[in-house]
């Protein structure tokens, strides 16, 4: 049937998505939505790429943490810093996301935004997942990249709304997903603008600006986009508010959860994953009108084994 | 010569802008800039529309302030609240912008974002400048609307970066300037997302989130856009950091100040306007490479006398 979404199995999930896109694009139809209002929002970790057993950005921070703790040994009193310095991934995985992400964000304080992006890109270009042995960027889900392309081709504007750091995700979002920097919304540390000779440069501070998770995702969508999305995709309780906000408006709208139920091709986890549990969302998806995509049943393949590394420079 | 910018007099300002746009759009030329990088940022108050003797949003807040002070008489201890309640525009005009804008933003705390936007739009649809007697939206500068259209037609993405409230400016930016909500960056109060039946609604809180002025404009450009603009336009010291940041990158770039030097057709003011002075920028424009547009000499006309009111609903 449809040439789009080739890595999706024929089934309810695919046909429901395709039917929705057809309806909102049908000029003159009762469900037509003008292109300007075709806003789609996607979580990143666990939705667009693999987040298990730990989010990619945590691996990125591990190397830097040693330097930070040498400068300020008092940080070891914080369980997340201690676990990171010890390389104790098991201990890290028992902590709530915010406790782990705060030191991750703090790790690059003092760097300019340009320096940070260069560093992140160089790391992403070469770093490999310690367990799986592949480049982290090869952990992007092929069916989700297809979905982003499909929506983009139908004049949707696709945004990433991530708990990850906005500058980290911008370092790869354009080459990996085709999503430009202005369509990435994420967590952020405060920045300061400094005069440096004839230029003004931006420097990252240690102080958290926004932790873009749960209700804060809705707040940031309102602040950055100023329109309510009509399509949303997530994979954890951290996305539930965003999915419900998407569904709350008038007219046609859809919201989806990806369920990681594929221990052979990726991983099977949900409510027990302390770093980013999927429990309330899983229990209430039906009641809230949120569709659930099964990785195991709805996807013909998960990864693109021939994926290139992202380029080292922009 | 050029059919664009008909309300601009032929002269250095117009020819410099047109020459720049021609160069960045010339495929294969050494100054070519891909459309995705053609980011242009504009201040709003005093740059796109009239801000004298007081920014439009202050007038919008005046009616609400009485209600607020009745509920909480302690607010009268703050000079800006006192002056607003007394309707003492002269006293208000002697205060710094942040002191005046904070109560303006606080005025609508407790409203949902949807309620606020409806209210702002209804007010803007009908409210008239007490001195001039025209609709506030008729205070938009025709040459600047032409410039926005001209850049948009050449695949620039035009953003407003305003000290005004982001939700207030979004209420009219699309109909008045053709700038969609996701391209408006502004000051903001914190919001909270609340479950309300099957929906999630956003409510404005009294606490200031970002006061989008001076260096904070640069920080917000980085946070929201993630690219350095190549063209910028402002009219006060509050825009200086944004203009210098724009000029600081590599490749072709331009930054402009509008100088209000036209007491006949609009107003003549700069360093003495306490609410938003133009002093450091005026003194150093040349040194920093910022062009200065004279309203009196560079504009053939200032306002569109036949301008329609903005529609009351979106």
| DSSP per-residue string spanning A50-82 | ---SS-HHHHHHHHHHHHHHHH-GGGGGSHHHH
> Would you say A267 and A52 are in contact if contact means Cβ atoms under 8 Å apart?
yes
Q: Does A241 touch chain B (CB under 8 A)?
A: yes
C-alpha B56/C-alpha A165 separation (Å) is 36
Give residue-wise pLDDT tens across range B200-259: 999 999 899 999 999 999 999 999 999 999 999 999 999 999 999 999 999 999 999 999
> Would you say B55 and B89 are in contact if contact means Cβ atoms under 8 Å apart?
no
DSSP one-letter code for B276? S
Interface contact flag, A182 B245, Cβ < 8 Å: no
CB half-sphere exposure, A14, CA atoms < 13 A: 19
CA A177 from centroid of its chain's CA atoms: 11
Which chain A residues are Cβ-neighbours of B225 within 8 angstroms?
181-182
Q: Does A113 touch chain B (CB under 8 A)?
A: yes
Q: How far is CA A108 from CA A53, A72, A194, B100, B215, in A?
A: 23, 14, 17, 36, 21
Task: Give residue A70's pLDDT.
Answer: 87
Which residues are A210's β-sheet partners? A188
Instruction: Answer yes or no: is B205 within a domain.
Output: yes
CB half-sphere exposure, B165, CA atoms < 13 A: 30
C-alpha A25/C-alpha A154 separation (Å) is 7
Instruction: Answer yes or no: is B126 within a domain.
Output: no
Q: Does A232 touch chain B (CB under 8 A)?
A: no
Interface contact flag, B113 A195, Cβ < 8 Å: no
A233: enclosing H helix or E strand: strand A231-234
Considering only alpha carbons, which residue of chain B is nearest residue A225? Answer: B182
Interface contact flag, B192 A166, Cβ < 8 Å: no
Residue in B195, B202, B226 closest to A184 by CB: B226
Which CATH number characterizes residue A216's domain?
3.40.50.1000
- Give phi and psi for B115, each to the nearest 5: -60, -45
Interface contact flag, A223 B191, Cβ < 8 Å: yes
Alpha helices (H) along A154-209: 166-177
A190: enclosing H helix or E strand: strand A184-196
Spans of chain B below 50 pLDDT: 1
Alpha helices (H) along chain B: 12-25, 56-71, 79-85, 89-92, 97-106, 113-126, 142-153, 166-177, 215-224, 240-247, 280-288, 295-298
Q: What does pLDDT average to in each consecutive run of 10 residues of chain A (314 residues)?
A: 87 98 98 98 98 92 83 89 88 88 86 94 90 89 98 98 97 97 97 92 94 97 98 98 97 98 96 95 98 98 86 75
Instruction: Answer yes or no: is A5 within a domain.
Output: no
C-alpha B173/C-alpha B44 separation (Å) is 10
What count of CB pairs under 8 Å joins A to B? Answer: 97
Task: Give residue B2's pLDDT.
Answer: 54
> Would you say B68 and B78 are in contact if contact means Cβ atoms under 8 Å apart?
no
SS3 A109: coil
Optimal mutation site among A178, A193, A222, interface B, most CBs of chain B within 10 A: A193
Which chain B residues are Cβ-neighbours of A157 within 8 angstroms?
182
Q: Does B192 touch chain A (CB under 8 A)?
A: yes
Interface contact flag, A241 B36, Cβ < 8 Å: no
Interface contact flag, B244 A184, Cβ < 8 Å: no
C-alpha triplet A178, A179, A183: angle, nearest 5°: 170
Two tokens, residue A80: 């997340």
Interface contact flag, A219 B244, Cβ < 8 Å: no
> Would you say A49 and A140 are in contact if contact means Cβ atoms under 8 Å apart?
yes
Which chain B residues are Cβ-neighbours of A248 within 8 angstroms?
198-201
Instruction: Answer yes or no: is A60 within a domain.
Output: no
Q: How far is CA B277 from CA A194, B80, B221, in A?
A: 21, 18, 22
Considering only alpha carbons, which residue of chain A is nearest residue B220? Answer: A191
Instruction: Answer yes or no: is B154 within a domain.
Output: yes
Q: Does B193 touch chain A (CB under 8 A)?
A: yes
DSSP one-letter code for A187? E
**CB under 8 Å to A176, separation ≥6 — which residues?**
A49, A137, A140, A145, A310
Considering only alpha carbons, which residue of chain A is nearest residue B166? Answer: A223
SS3 B305: coil
Give residue-wise pLDDT tens across range B148-175: 999 999 999 999 999 999 999 999 999 9
A41: enclosing H helix or E strand: strand A39-42
Which chain A residues are Cβ-neighbours of B166 within 8 angstroms?
223, 226
Number of domains chain A contains: 1
Optimal mutation site among A186, A200, A253, A289, interface B, most CBs of chain B within 10 A: A200
Q: Does B199 touch chain A (CB under 8 A)?
A: yes
C-alpha A53/C-alpha B148 separation (Å) is 48
Q: Does B198 touch chain A (CB under 8 A)?
A: yes
Ranges assigned E (strand) in B156-261:
157-165, 184-196, 199-210, 231-234, 254-259
C-alpha A119/C-alpha A314 separation (Å) is 12
Instruction: Answer yes or no: is B109 within a domain.
Output: no
User: Of chain A residues 259-298, which have a CB less than 8 A from chain B?
Assistant: 288
Instruction: Answer yes or no: is B5 within a domain.
Output: no
Domain interval for residue A258: 12-52+137-298
Instruction: Answer yes or no: is B269 within a domain.
Output: yes
Q: How many CB atoms lie within 10 A of CB A283?
A: 11
User: Of chain A residues 45-84, which have a CB less than 8 A from chain B?
Assistant: none
To the nearest 10°, report the CA torsion of A129, A133, A136, A137. Answer: 180
Interface contact flag, A182 B219, Cβ < 8 Å: no
Interface contact flag, B193 A227, Cβ < 8 Å: no
Which chain B residues are Cβ-neighbours of A167 within 8 angstroms?
226
To the nearest 10°, report the CA torsion of A287, A293, A295, A298. Answer: 130
């Amino acid at each position: 049937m449809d040439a789009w979404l080739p890595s999706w199995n024929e089934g309810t999930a695919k046909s429901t998505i395709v039917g929705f896109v057809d309806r909102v694009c049908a000029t003159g139809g009762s469900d037509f939505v003008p292109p300007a209002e075709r806003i789609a929002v996607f979580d990143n970790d666990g939705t667009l790429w693999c987040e298990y057993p730990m989010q990619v950005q945590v691996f990125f921070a591990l190397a830097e943490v040693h330097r930070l703790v040498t400068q300020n040994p008092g940080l070891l009193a914080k369980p997340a810093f201690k676990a990171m310095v010890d390389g104790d991934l098991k201990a890290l995985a028992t902590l709530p996301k915010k406790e782990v992400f705060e030191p991750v964000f703090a790790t690059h304080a003092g760097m300019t935004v340009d320096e940070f992006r260069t560093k992140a890109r160089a790391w992403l270009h070469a770093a490999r997942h310690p367990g799986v042995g592949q480049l982290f960027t090869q952990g992007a889900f092929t069916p989700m990249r297809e979905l982003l392309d499909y929506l983009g081709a139908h004049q949707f504007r696709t945004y990433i709304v991530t708990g990850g750091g906005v500058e980290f995700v911008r370092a790869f979002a354009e080459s990996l997903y085709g999503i430009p920097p202005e369509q990435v919304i994420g967590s952020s540390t405060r920045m300061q603008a400094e005069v440096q000779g004839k230029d003004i440069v931006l420097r990252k501070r240690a102080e958290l600006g926004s932790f873009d998770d749960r209700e804060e995702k809705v707040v940031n969508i309102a602040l950055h986009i100023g329109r309510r999305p009509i399509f949303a995709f997530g994979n954890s309780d951290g996305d539930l508010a965003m999915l419900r906000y998407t569904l709350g408006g008038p007219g046609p709208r859809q919201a989806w959860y990806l369920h990681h139920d594929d221990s052979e091709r990726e991983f099977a986890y949900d409510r027990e994953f302390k770093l980013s549990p999927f429990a309330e969302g899983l229990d209430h998806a039906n009641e809230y009108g949120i569709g659930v995509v099964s990785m195991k049943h709805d996807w013909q393949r998960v990864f693109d084994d021939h994926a290139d590394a992202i380029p080292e420079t922009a």
